[in-house]
Every structure is written in structure tokens, then in C-alpha cells.
Structure 1
Amino acid sequence: MTDTPPRRALVTGATGFTGWYVAKELLAQGFQVRALVRDPAKGGELVQAGMEVVSGDLRDAASLKQAVEGCTHVFHIGALYREARFADSVYFDVNVTGTGHLFEAALQQGARVVHCSTVGVHGDIEGIADENAPIAPGDVYQESKVQGEELFQDYLRRGMIGACFRPAGIYGPRDTRFLKLFRTIRDRKFRMFGSGEILYHLTYVEDLARGIVLLGTHPAAIGETFILTGARYTTLNELVALTAEAVKVPPPKGRLPIAPLLVAAAACEALCKPFGIEPPLHRRRTDFFTKSRAFTSAKAERLVGYAPVVDLREGLGRTAQWYFEQGLLK
């Protein structure tokens, strides 16, 4: 009887939010996990969890070739997200050129790839969007992710094996991007701008991580692109009300007109960007009040059995509990 060869997965972005959960899920499913980190000093938690940590950078092709060596799978979660201090060219250096380096290494190794994109590639949407919705990026980050997807398709044609996914609104314990919303609601400083009836779609990170690993193991995922979301979308008004419930305060009342906020955000960006300062108010932050985001994961459910199970109320409650435990909410 021949022993089954071990499955070894390289995870980029494992020191980040989603990447950490993907790496944990891989361990739980019996993978040997190798985490790519730029600074090995930040990999202590990964090592304690039973992962191998290797030093590398998406912009360094040689380091990626070494990192992928011996791996059966590559889960590419790492990316440069939106920060005003970076020049536009840096997004393409990391999210496009660097992604290409990783794909090339995976192709040469024969590793199966799962590539993380974003539902942001669809830009402004109408109704409930699926994978066939128009591609219409609205900022440099989204454009870099579109080009990353184009590279993915190119490498599929060259013989790489893999799947691509577009996640929506990732949240859960360890996340800090939604902390400001929880904190302003908890401190009773939140103000609703506009009607609050736009649609919003959140994805609990543990559900997402299970879905991502599924795309790396299910035969029907190969060559496909999927949207991965939570079980349901909601209105912004309901999201705010459920968050208030999670942080144990009454839901905020009243609302303000949106137009002055949009003007202030544009002016703030214009003043801060030349100095490389992260503006306290971005136009993309105003998207929270103005852009509907509702998607369907029907394709992933049908083809690979993706099935998110954490209800929005439960997920927000778990997230709030973690914030309280970490002292991030008083």
C-alpha cells in the first residue's frame, strides 16, 4: 500500500485577516501549511499554530520560486489594499506584477492555485450581481484586481490549474476594518447619511475560509471564477440596527443629507494626497452610504457545495464579543 503524498499549501497574506483563517482551515483539513511573510518576526503566531514560515515578497520572483517549491497548492490571499500613502504604481507592482510572479512559480511547480480577487471589480452594480455582471472597476485598487484576474486567465491558458474568487464584505473576529462602525455605534456617535435603504452584503470570515479551501480541493472548481458571499444581503439600516444590538446600545436615530459628506470627502482627499497623508475621510468611505452591494453565490453553491452557515446577527455578535475581549470597545 502506497502512502498518500502530503498536501502542502503556500498561503500569501497569512499574517492578515482572511489569510490567517484560510491557513487555519487548511491545517484543520490536514494540509501542511507554509506561510509567505515579508517580515519573519511577524510570523510567531503562525509558527505556534503549526505552520512553516518562509520569507518572501510578491515583488521578488526568486523568493516566490523558493516558497512554492514542494507545494501542491497555492492560496493567494495577500494583496495591497487601499491606502492613500501609496502611489498608484505600487498597486500594480504588487497586485499585478507580483501576482504574475506567483502564478509563474505555481505553474512551474505544478501547484493548484486559488486566487483572491474582489467583488469590487464589478464597480457600481444594479440589482443582485453574479459573476457575469459587467466588469467596471471604480478605483486603482479595483483596476489592479481586474488586471490580476486577467493574468489568472492567461495562466490558465498556459496550463496552470486553479480557481478565482471574488469575496464580498469580509468581517469577523480579528478584523479591524469594521471596527470604526462598531465603535461609533457603541459610542452613540454614528450618523446615517442618506436613506440607509441601500443593500449591503457581508461574508463571515470562517464561512469564507471554508469556501476558499473548497475551491482548492473540489474538482468542479478548476478553471472557474466564483463570487463568495454570506448567506444573505441586508439593508444598511438593518446592518446598523443589528450592530447596535451586538454592542448593546439602542439603534441610532435620525439621518443627514449625503451631499455635504461627498463634498467634504473629495476636498479631504485632494488636500492630503500630495503629502502622502492618509486622509481622515475618503470618498471610498462615503461609498458605505451610497453604493448598493448585493451578490449571489449561487454558482459556488451549485458547482462545489459552498454553504455559508453563520447568520448575520450571530456573526456580528461574535465580532463584537472579540472587540470587547481585545479592549477595542469599552
Structure 2
Amino acid sequence: MLIFGRWEPRRLIARGGVAEVYEAWDHKLKIEVVLKIPRRDVHFDSSKLIENEGKILSRMNHPYIVKLIGKGKYKGTPFVVLEKIEGTPLSKAFKPPLDPVQVIDLILEIASAIQYINSKGIAHRDLKPSNIVISPRRITIIDFSVAYPYGNEAPKAETPRYSCPEAALGYSTPSCDVYSLAALTSWLLTGNPSNHNHILGEVTRKAAEAEPGRRELSISEYLYILRRIASIGSRLVIGGRAYMLGGFRKIRIGRAMQCEIPIFDPGRYVSPVHAYIIREGEAHVLADNNSLNGVFVWRNDKYLRVKNWRLIEGDYIILCYSEKRGPYVVVRYRAY
């Protein structure tokens, strides 16, 4: 079977609460993709949620958010086609409790993507460990079926201990995602999303109040507090793992083992020495080492190919990017 003469489902790889998920082949782009179609054996209208996911993802273009490749209806059934993500769900990638510094670096990355989603006037509303995929090259947030613009007509989101109470009533607000971030932080630190007896408990308690009006922190404030706590020095974060830049004058990034920051890349898209991070006084400069597939910086919904780039706090560095595949390796620069 070919959908619109382009997408060929090959095998069922998962059956979630909303959709059946298939590995498929894109005959136009010549790549493996993921095809999601609504389940018919559920008590709610899953078709609307699949349509909603396509609509929401069409507004997203971020290194940490799954890429939408196509959407539509085939013989009356809605579907979405997404990039195929390599990696492991956060729920299986780590066994809590984790070191607090590692948790903060992870949450800073996840929260930055949520901040981007919220900047579009949308709440994800189902942020949980199984909807975050970790690989040695990237963090990716998936499943936007119940993400929705702010208001009181959203689909119900009812993941116990991660979804805020008002999400189950059809509300979509920025504080929905702050609540989920607090639960996620607590899970990483204790193994229990409802346990706030930990080093960041003062922060997560404020964000996880059951009553929306009592949640004192916005996503920006949550990020600000974590950045202050995690002021441990300049570093690069890849797939949730931090590499300290320290006193190095020049650091190599690539798939060669001798690189100070080696990239696991069996596909060999990354060059042996792909790029350098060069220290200039108190600043760092990103330099492309004539790589085949390029060095990019993500800014304002765009991927900019660069040769030399003076880094600022929070910059997204992309090793290898193409319009059809999206970002391959995502590196986050932390100045402090």
C-alpha cells in the first residue's frame, strides 16, 4: 500500500493510547519515516487527536522537537508522517535517582524546548518520560496529540502524576507544562514524580501546586532558577550529557576517537574532526573544519550554516542538517 503514492507502511512498531505507529518508507525523500494513524478500538475520537498533532507540529521548527514530514487524510483516515527518531525514551534511558547536576542539565534542555512551544501560544500538556527520547546525539520531544493553543477547549490530558489537574478538564495554559516539568524533575531526582523532598524541592513544590493560581513560577522563572543553581562553568551538552570546556584553548568535535568530544556516529555523517570550539578570552568561537555536511546554528526558527560563529549562552549548534532529515547532532552551548 502506498499513501498518496509516497509513503509505504512496512511494520507496526508501537500501539499507543491514541495511535498505531508504523515504520514506513518515504519514496520521495528516500528515507525511513514514522507513520501514525488513529486507533479505532478506543472510547474517544482518536482521529481528532491525530489531526491536532499534525496541525500543532506544522507550527514547530526546533532542534529538540520531532519533525513533521507530512499529514493528511487517506480514504477518510487522518495520518501524520514524522521523522524516525533514534534513541531511547527517557523512561528507559535512565534509572533514577540521578546526580542533581545531570538532572539540571537535562531539565534545562527539555525546558528550553517547552519554552519555545509556549512562545507559540501552545502547551504540550503531556510532558512525561516516555515522550522524551534520548540519544547520544540529541534530545527529542514527541507526541503532540493533546498539545493545544491556550484556552478551555483543549482535549483532555490525563497522565497520572504528570498532567496538571486542569488539563484533565480541557484547559490549556502555560502552567500546565511548568507542572509537568516539576514532576519530571522530581522523578529524575527521586524516582517519584510526586516526591518533592530533594535538593530542588523548594522549586518543584512551587511549580507543582494543584491549584493553577498558586503556581508561583513561569517557565522562564523555572529556567532562570535552574541556570543559577547550575552555574558550574562553560560546557557543551549533547543528549543530556555535559562536556566541560574548562581551560582548553581548542577542542575538537567529531566522530574520531581522538576528539575531546567524540560523537557516536555509525552512519558516518559527522566528519572525523567536524568542528572546533576555540577559546578567545572569556568567549568561545565555533569553527567549521571544512566538514562535508556542515555546521549550523539554530536561531529564530531557522538553521543557519556557519563557518565561524561567536557563541552566546544557550546557542544550539547543529552538526549535519538537511531540510529532508532535520538536525542530526544537537549540541547546546552553556556559558556558565
User: Normalized against structure 1, the TM-score is what?
Assistant: 0.25
Of Structure 1 and Structure 2, the greater strand share is in 2
Of Structure 1 and Structure 2, the greater helix share is in 1
User: Normalized against structure 2, the TM-score is what?
Assistant: 0.25
